Chain A
Amino acid sequence: MARIVGDKTEAAIEPPQETARGQSALSGRTRLALGAMQGLGLGGFYIIVLIYFSLSAPYFFSTSNVVNILSNISVIGIVTLGQAYVLIAGGFDLSVSGTVPLGGVIFTMLINRGLNIPEAWLIAVLAGCGIGLANGLIITRIGINALVTTLGTWSITVGLAYVVTNGETVAFKDLNQGPIDNVVLGMPLYVWTMILISLIAFAVLRFTVFGRMIYAIGGNREASRLAGIRVDLVTTSVYVISGGLGAFAGVMLAQQLLAGAPTVGANAALNSIAAVILGGAALSGGVGGIPGTVVGVLVLGTIANGMALMQVPSFYQQIATGAILLVAVGFGRLRAIFGQLAG
């Protein structure tokens, strides 16, 4: 019957396709502009924050304070890089709040037993990777939702940290075991470590096939599976990375404190997720990136620092973190709505 749609009319059917094309070109450009605005948005916001604190907080705009900010964010920064991988892959890792203290505690107990730093460090990171592996396997094999899984492993790992230390802070027996504190080229080694890991994390996510697979499984799991991507393997990998980086950060923190404490890192999950979301990622996965994530960490770290300099009690920092998260994400959302109305 539809053969009546002969060749003559068929030729006439194509052109409306062209209008559709023009239309989507427009929306493509609009979207690009909106995306750029959003990217600039956080950077712009950061600049405003910097100007504000430069004017109102004493000593804020000094080299030593910049180093100070970078020092303060180095631990959470490393945790956040792992969290970014997990969130972009469409997951969620609350257990970093457990791998951070557990990593630090394991490292401390091992060096106190006479292991050297690289050995103890490696074992602590491997333990973190092991927790990540457990997360990944539970999520992909058993099929428990990521939120529930990592909530469970968070509790288990924090509990483990308490058990092995008997609930006490374990000080380094040898106070020379924290070389990460040494200052090189004006900044402590751990700042350089964070910068190096950020660059690696950026390069892997942006330029490698593995990085693209992370975006792919976060963007659409089923499409990725149909395309032959080993979704379970990639999913598990990002949890292993996040677990490893969490423990790595925990070791760094222990070296800064010259002690391993089960009580540290409780805010790591919330702060790292907040920073990644602030940096443009979505809980649904598939979007975001390392540059945005780093700016997100910087924003939160700078505000905490500025508030401390202004002698605002630290409890208020937590309120500020939450408010900034909501304002930043809400602002982007409002802009999207207005963008649609304008378009």
Chain B
Amino acid sequence: MAANLDGAGARAQSGAAEVLRGHQLAKSYGGHLVLKHVDFSIGRGEIVAVIGENGAGKSTFAKIIAGVVQPEAGQIYMGGREVSIQSPRDALRLGIAYIPQELAYLSNRTVADNILLGRWPHRAGVTSDEAIASTAAAEARKFGIELHVNWRMADLTLAERQLVEIVKALARSSEVLVLDEPTASLTSGESRKLFGILRQLVRSGLSVIFISHRMDEVFEVSDRVVVMRNGDVVGDVATRDATRPQLISLMLGAAAEELGEQRRDRVLTQPALELRGWTWSGEPPIRDFNITVHRGEIVTLFGLRGSGGEAIAEGLAGRNSKFSGKVVVENREFSVFRTITASKRAGIGYLPAERKRDGLIMPLSVQTNLSLLVLRALSRFGLTDAAEERRMAKRMRDTLQIRLRSMSQPVVTLSGGNQQKVVLGSRLLAQPRVLVLQEPTRGVDVGARFEIHHYLRGIAEQGTAILWVTTDVEEAVLVADRLVVLREGSIVAELTGASKTQGQAVAMAAKDAA
């Protein structure tokens, strides 16, 4: 922990005047201290990245600055004067804008309505769609972003919605902009555009607090990195003096050593999952798609968003009945699954991409969520064996290192990575022969991501076949025995061994799309 530099020291190097300072900020949830008297400061025109594992307290910290939650102890100073931030409204008044990790927008209203939410142009309280549309378009253009301001939010892609939220916040922030993982659903091109805008804005005096779990972004955009672990600030370094391994070891503490682990080559002969002649006329059209995953093999299906991986994963899960074709699971042949039950019975475990929408019942306990898929096995005459349920849930908690206070804690109170582990755990309890994973580490930070990768490699080595659909090239390369690149519904490359590089994968995925 030699790199635990003094925060003020690192800032002093940048020589900027302090714009915001948090002093001894503390917050606990249910008696558990998630933010342990943290000090933080940011100078004018500075971009500070805040990184850390799941539950390290970074989102809580962001929410306190944005007025979304109130700290139990500590003060916030702006320009040297103590300020009171009791609500997002107070924060906005002080020039602090915030984009939450979970986008919050009105899906039934237009883009323009959303950009100007709550501050629509008006004359004596009377406003008009035209005025709102033209003001919103002008604000978006100011940041070099073109948006269809009259479209409904619900009709936009996820990335476009995120851009709308970014414009909304940019237009409101005069002093400090707090971004909680703003690039989660952006392409790398869009992320770069965002970084370009941020750099431009900081030149005119804006300060940015940038919460991220992507190392490359941290190095690309920030001036300074604050590392959090277990509710404490454990590192505060100028980005140009920081190295990737140093930051990772600060984030993970003792867990860091395992990171260097390498994938062993194994001989794989027994097919566990075969897709034969999969065809559908959706978007993108897929014709005669064939793929085989062997026992103990991890095959990553990598492509840009909308290149067909999602459709195939959902087809395998029985969520998309429009496919025609055959599936062979452990030598048993099926036609494409028409129902989710059929897929589950065939021995397929499916991890959906959107854990909140499709994977979890948020208000229910960790234990209930874990046992969701095996309730029948746990029950006799409709009564659940509570002791056995608890035992199974605890075993999963220990195997996946789910960090929680109690098994009866609602999953909604867990951090993103721990929630993801609960979804994964519930699938694993059904003991699937084949795992179909869709974006298993989306919105999950480095630590949990590493743990999930590590665990999945482990069960693959014990013989589970894994089809891993991802749009994250780093992940696709890292975990794969075999990397299959998809473009517009077709397989364009299979990469193994030395040819399995990020550059190659991205080049194949994007080739002649331009």
Contacts and interface: CB of A to CB of B under 8 A. Distances in A.
Are A and B part of the same complex? yes
B216 A23 contact: no
B125 interface: yes
Given A216-B109, A222-B104, A209 B127 contact: yes
Chain B interface bracket (under 10, 10 to 19, 20 to 34, 35 or more): 35 or more
B188 A13 contact: yes
Contact of B155 (A9, A17, A27, A207): A27
A208 B126 CA distance: 4
B510 A225 contact: no
A228 B88 contact: yes
A12 B511 contact: yes
Interface string B116-148: 011110100111100000000000000000000
Nearest to B513: A15
Given A13-B188, A15-B513, A27-B155, A223 B106 contact: yes
Interface string B92-109: 110000101000111111
A323 interface: no
A281 to B, nearest CB: 11
A11 B514 contact: yes
A5 B506 CA distance: 7
A3 interface: yes
Interface of B: 66, 68, 87-89, 92-93, 98, 100, 104-109, 113-114, 117-120, 122, 125-128, 151-152, 154-157, 159-160, 168, 187-190, 192, 214-216, 220, 283, 304-307, 473-474, 501-503, 506-507, 510-511, 513-514
Given A3-B216, A212-B127, A24 B157 contact: yes
A226 B151 contact: no
27 contacts: A1-B502, A2-B214, A2-B474, A4-B506, A5-B503, A9-B510, A10-B188, A11-B514, A12-B511, A13-B506, A13-B513, A14-B189, A16-B304, A16-B307, A24-B151, A24-B155, A24-B156, A28-B152, A209-B126, A216-B117, A219-B108, A225-B87, A227-B92, A227-B168, A228-B87, A228-B118, A286-B106
A228 B92 contact: yes
Contacts of B283: 23
Given A12-B514, A20-B305, 20 more contacts: A4-B501, A5-B502, A5-B503, A5-B506, A9-B510, A16-B305, A16-B307, A17-B157, A17-B187, A20-B160, A20-B306, A209-B127, A212-B120, A213-B118, A215-B106, A219-B106, A226-B98, A227-B92, A229-B117, A229-B118
B89 to A, nearest CB: 4
A17 B68 CA distance: 33
Given A1-B474, A215-B109, A223 B104 contact: yes
Contacts of A219: 106-109
B109 A2 contact: no
A98 B305 CA distance: 54
A213 B125 CA distance: 11
Contact of A208 (B106, B125, B307): B125
A20 B513 contact: no
Interface in A185-240: 207-210, 212-213, 215-216, 219-220, 222-230
Given A5-B473, A207-B126, A209-B120, A286 B216 contact: no
Interface residues of A, number: 45
B125 A209 contact: yes
A226 B106 contact: no
Contacts of A212: 113, 120, 127
Interface string A1-43: 1111110011111111101110111011001000000000000
Given A12-B511, A31-B155, A212-B127, A220 B104 contact: yes
A87 to B, nearest CB: 14
Interface in A75-103: none
A14 B159 CA distance: 12
Contacts of B154: 31
Nearest to A234: B118
A299 interface: no
A216 B118 contact: yes
Most buried by A among B128, B215, B503, B511: B503
Contacts of B503: 4-6, 9
A274 interface: no
A19 B284 CA distance: 10
Contacts of A225: 87-89
Contact of B216 (A2, A19, A222): A2
A219 to B, nearest CB: 4
Given A27-B155, A226-B68, A19 B306 contact: yes
A216 B120 CA distance: 12
B189 to A, nearest CB: 5
A197 to B, nearest CB: 18
Contacts of A12: 510-511, 513-514
A44 B101 CA distance: 44
Most buried by A among B68, B104, B214, B306: B104
B119 A228 contact: yes
B510 A13 contact: yes
Closest 8 CB pairs of A and B: A223-B104, A219-B106, A12-B510, A227-B117, A227-B118, A228-B89, A229-B118, A28-B155
